[in-house]
């Protein structure tokens, strides 16, 4: 018997109401697309270098100053541009050749990583110059992230989208395992400058891949507004699509309140666990977060491919709240490492589920601008939380910041539970508005 075809209403019911299932293809199928496969592996190589640099930057900032405030400032310089410049990146991704844009950003990142390597040859580098270079790297990432996020789904058929997103999340997080582990070893063995130099070399991989492939052309909608109104097109889409609006609201709240501890891992390692940030043990601790993230993100396109993504969001938030509480309270590294794996798994299982729901809602003509909002919510709010967390940690403890984040994750899980299905009736609609107002 032929498999029944699903219409738009069926897909909407499956995504919003979670009252039926769609039979998605698995992550493995996405690798059968040659262009997707080549870009996937090229990005994997480059991301390993990026996470070497990301992990070492925080540890280096803490070693240089011993200040949680300065660590927060470096992370803000690195990730803050995602909040300010992603809209520009998303707008560009919807009107220009995405391949050329990605190549240009990769060249810029390569040159800035070389500059970072040269600056840190000095034992006492200019801290203002250090922040300035990291800030420019962040600006490049703010252009790259929505462009790459918009380009990837166009390389596979819609039925394979969930698998492609799951695979992409898995490679990003596998690089979180491999990169910090390599970076920690190189940092201890040959110094911070060489870590940044090796990262610069990895950009040659993705540049080579992008030169060898062709990406689908972007066909702008001639009826779209121009100028500043076009820049804000993602907000219009989110305002009119309730699913997109709620996904973005959940992601922004989670990133702002529940993830600041990620920006303060060197502080957590030294003060709670007695782990030297300049050690292989710290690299392993950082890698545990990435290992869990690989498990969580890859499971969404494999083991849980047929499950309701909204239900997985709710369960992931609950697991994150419990595991982050455990990580905040332990003082033994042997207990902290497995707790970190569970935190990473819940973290990226939730994020991948949210991203899948979002991407399945988007038309390719506006994908770049809406994904810019995703990047702002996912990455742009994290450094704000980290910047706030720095002084709070100095005044209290990193444990308090983590326990607060766990409590917010539990509340967001309850928020997701309330909206498993479409609310009906006056009282239900009133409850929706009250909760959305409280979370917003």
Token pair recorded at residue 105: 């950003």
pLDDT at 117: 93
Q: What is the mean pLDDT of residues 114-123?
A: 91
pLDDT at 317: 94
Question: How large a percentage of the chain has pLDDT more than 90?
Answer: 21
Specify the pTM. 0.65
Flag whether 16 is in a domain. Answer: no
Q: What is the mean pLDDT of residues 2-10?
A: 36
- Residue 49 and residue 206 in contact, taking contact as beta carbons nearer than 8 Å: no
pLDDT at 229: 59
Domain count, the chain: 1
Is pLDDT of 384 > 90?
no
pLDDT at 425: 44
SS3 category, 21: coil
- Largest alpha-carbon pair distance within the chain? 72
Q: What is the mean pLDDT of residues 95-122?
A: 91
Give pLDDT tens digits for 267-279.
899 899 999 887 7
Is pLDDT of 440 > 60?
no
Token pair recorded at residue 6: 């699903």
Is pLDDT of 429 > 80?
no
Is pLDDT of 85 > 70?
yes
Considering only CA atoms, which of 174, 170, 101 is closest in space to residue 140?
101
Host domain of residue 32: 27-439
Flag whether 12 is in a domain. Answer: no
Flag whether 6 is in a domain. Answer: no
pLDDT at 381: 79
Backbone angles phi, psi at 237, to 5 degrees: -65, -45
- Residue 310 and residue 420 in contact, taking contact as beta carbons nearer than 8 Å: yes
Give pLDDT tens digits for 407-418.
999 998 887 665
How far, CA to CA in Å, does 85 sit from each of 138, 333, 343, 361?
Answer: 9, 38, 29, 23
pLDDT at 228: 52
Is pLDDT of 26 > 80?
no
Is pLDDT of 423 > 50?
no
Query: Which of 39-43, 49-53, 244-248, 325-329 holds the top average pLDDT?
Result: 325-329
Token pair recorded at residue 359: 């991407």
Q: What is the mean pLDDT of the chain?
A: 79
pLDDT at 406: 95
Q: H/E element holding 416?
A: helix 398-418
Considering only CA atoms, which of 163, 207, 159, 155 is closest in space to residue 49?
207
Cβ-Cβ contacts under 8 Å for 190 (sequence gap 6 or more): none
Is pLDDT of 322 > 90?
yes
- Residue 90 and residue 372 in contact, taking contact as beta carbons nearer than 8 Å: yes
Flag whether 334 is in a domain. Answer: yes
99-137 residues labelled b (16+ CB within 10 A) or e (exposed): bebbbbbbebbbebbbbbbebbeeeebeeeebbebbbbb
- Predicted confidence band of residue 116 (pLDDT cuts 50, 70, 90): very high
Q: How many CA atoms lie within 13 A of 34 on its CB side?
A: 3
pLDDT at 266: 84
User: How many C-beta atoms lie closer than 10 Å to residue 330's C-beta?
Assistant: 18
Q: What is the CATH number of the domain that holds 232?
A: 1.20.1250.20
pLDDT at 337: 94
Is pLDDT of 281 > 60?
yes
pLDDT at 226: 53
Flag whether 251 is in a domain. Answer: yes
Could you tell me which residue, 165 or 26, shows the higher pLDDT?
A: 165
pLDDT at 220: 60
Q: Pick the range with the lowest mean pLDDT from 168-182, 196-210, 248-262, 417-431.
A: 417-431
Is pLDDT of 331 > 50?
yes
CA-angle at 289, arms to 284 and 294, nearest 5°: 110
**Residue 191, by phi and psi: left (phi above 0), alpha (psi -120 to 50) or beta?**
left
Cβ-Cβ contacts under 8 Å for 53 (sequence gap 6 or more): 113, 116, 179, 183, 195, 196, 199
**Residue 18, by phi and psi: left (phi above 0), alpha (psi -120 to 50) or beta?**
left
How far, CA to CA in Å, does 299 sit from each of 22, 118, 173, 352, 376?
Answer: 17, 41, 12, 9, 25
Give pLDDT tens digits for 216-256.
776 665 555 555 555 566 677 777 787 788 888 888 899 88
Q: H/E element holding 89?
A: helix 81-93
Is pLDDT of 297 > 90?
no
pLDDT at 88: 78
Kindly write down the DSSP assignment for every residue of 224-259, as one continuous string: S--HHHHHTHHHHHHHH-HHHHHHHHHHHHHHHHH-
Give the integer Cα–Cα distance in Å for 78 and 296. 25
Is pLDDT of 101 > 80?
yes
Q: Pick the range with the lowest mean pLDDT from 88-102, 135-149, 189-203, 397-411.
A: 88-102
pLDDT at 79: 75
Q: Pick the range with the lowest mean pLDDT from 110-119, 133-142, 229-238.
A: 229-238
Flag whether 20 is in a domain. Answer: no
Flag whether 9 is in a domain. Answer: no
- Predicted confidence band of residue 201 (pLDDT cuts 50, 70, 90): very high
Question: How large a percentage of the chain has pLDDT more than 70?
Answer: 82
Dihedral of CA atoms 75, 79, 84, 90 in degrees, nearest 10, equals: 180
Flag whether 430 is in a domain. Answer: yes
pLDDT at 418: 56
pLDDT at 1: 35
Is pLDDT of 17 > 50?
no
Give pLDDT tens digits for 147-177.
887 787 778 887 777 778 777 777 776 776 6
Give the integer Cα–Cα distance in Å for 415 and 291. 28
């Amino acid at each position: 018997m032929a498999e029944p075809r699903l219409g738009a209403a069926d897909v909407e019911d499956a995504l919003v109401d979670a009252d039926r299932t769609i039979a998605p293809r698995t992550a493995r199928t996405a690798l059968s697309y040659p262009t997707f496969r080549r870009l996937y592996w090229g990005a994997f190589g480059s991301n390993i270098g990026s996470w070497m640099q990301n992990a070492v930057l925080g540890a280096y900032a803490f070693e240089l100053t011993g200040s949680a405030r300065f660590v927060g400032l470096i992370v803000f310089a690195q990730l803050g541009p995602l909040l300010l410049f992603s809209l520009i990146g998303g707008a560009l991704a919807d009107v220009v050749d995405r391949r050329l844009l990605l190549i240009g950003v990769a060249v810029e990142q390569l040159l800035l990583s070389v500059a970072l390597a040269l600056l840190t040859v000095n034992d006492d580098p200019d801290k203002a110059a250090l922040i300035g270079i990291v800030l420019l790297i962040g600006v490049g990432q703010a252009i790259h992230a929505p462009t790459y996020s918009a380009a990837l789904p166009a390389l596979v058929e819609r039925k394979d989208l969930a698998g492609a997103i799951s695979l992409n999340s898995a490679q990003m997080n596998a690089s979180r395992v491999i990169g910090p582990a390599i970076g920690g070893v190189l940092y201890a063995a040959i110094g911070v400058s060489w870590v940044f130099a090796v990262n610069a070399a990895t950009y040659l991989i993705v540049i080579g891949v992008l030169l060898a492939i062709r990406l689908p052309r972007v066909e702008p909608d001639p009826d779209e507004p121009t100028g500043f109104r076009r820049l804000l097109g993602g907000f219009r889409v989110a305002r009119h699509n309730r699913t997109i609006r709620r996904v973005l609201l959940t992601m922004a709240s989670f990133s702002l309140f529940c993830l600041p501890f990620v920006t303060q891992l060197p502080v957590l390692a030294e003060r709670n666990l007695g782990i030297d940030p300049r050690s292989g043990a710290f690299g392993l601790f950082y890698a545990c977060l990435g290992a869990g993230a690989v498990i969580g993100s890859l499971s969404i396109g494999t083991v849980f491919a047929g499950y309701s993504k909204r239900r997985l969001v709710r369960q992931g938030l609950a697991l994150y709240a419990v595991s982050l509480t455990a990580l905040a309270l332990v003082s033994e590294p042997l207990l902290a490492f497995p707790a970190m794996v569970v935190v990473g798994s819940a973290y990226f299982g939730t994020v991948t589920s949210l991203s899948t729901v979002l991407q399945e809602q988007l038309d390719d003509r506006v994908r770049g601008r809406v994904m810019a909002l995703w990047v702002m919510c996912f990455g742009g709010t994290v450094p704000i939380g980290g910047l706030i967390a720095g002084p709070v940690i100095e005044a209290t403890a990193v444990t308090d910041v983590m326990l607060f984040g766990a409590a917010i994750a539990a509340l967001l899980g309850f928020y997701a539970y309330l909206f498993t299905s479409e609310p009906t009736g006056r009282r239900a609609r009133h409850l929706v508005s009250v909760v959305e107002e409280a979370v917003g």
